[in-house]
């Protein structure tokens, strides 16, 4: 699974993380079957919503959980 952390979806998340955004909530939207991550930059008070497939979401959730 660590090899999956090199995926483009993880790199996109890392870019946002490097810009100061932190995950405040993640969920799977049952309607569109997308994994949604809500991010907030606590310095600039900016927010972003990051969406990906449910399959990529499993990888991303594992990565986020390891950051905590």
**How far apart (Å, rounded) are the C-alpha atoms in residues 52 and 55?**
8
> What confidence score (pLDDT) does residue 7 get?
86
Q: Tens digit of pLDDT for each residue in 11-66?
A: 999 999 999 999 999 999 888 899 999 999 999 999 999 899 999 999 999 999 99
Q: Is the pTM of this model over 0.85?
A: no
2-13 residue pLDDT tens: 556 788 999 999
Task: Measure the N-to-C terminal CA separation of the chain; round to a whole number of Å.
Answer: 18
Domain ranges of the chain: 2-67
Q: Is residue 1 pLDDT above 80, yes or no?
A: no
CA 47 – CA 39 distance, rounded (Å): 6
């Amino acid at each position: 699974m660590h090899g999956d952390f090199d995926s483009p979806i993880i790199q996109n998340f890392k870019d946002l993380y490097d810009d100061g955004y932190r995950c405040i909530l993640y969920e799977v939207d049952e309607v569109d079957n997308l994994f949604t991550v809500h991010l907030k930059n606590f310095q600039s008070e900016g927010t972003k919503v990051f969406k990906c497939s449910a399959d990529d979401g499993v990888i991303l959730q594992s990565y986020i959980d390891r950051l905590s």
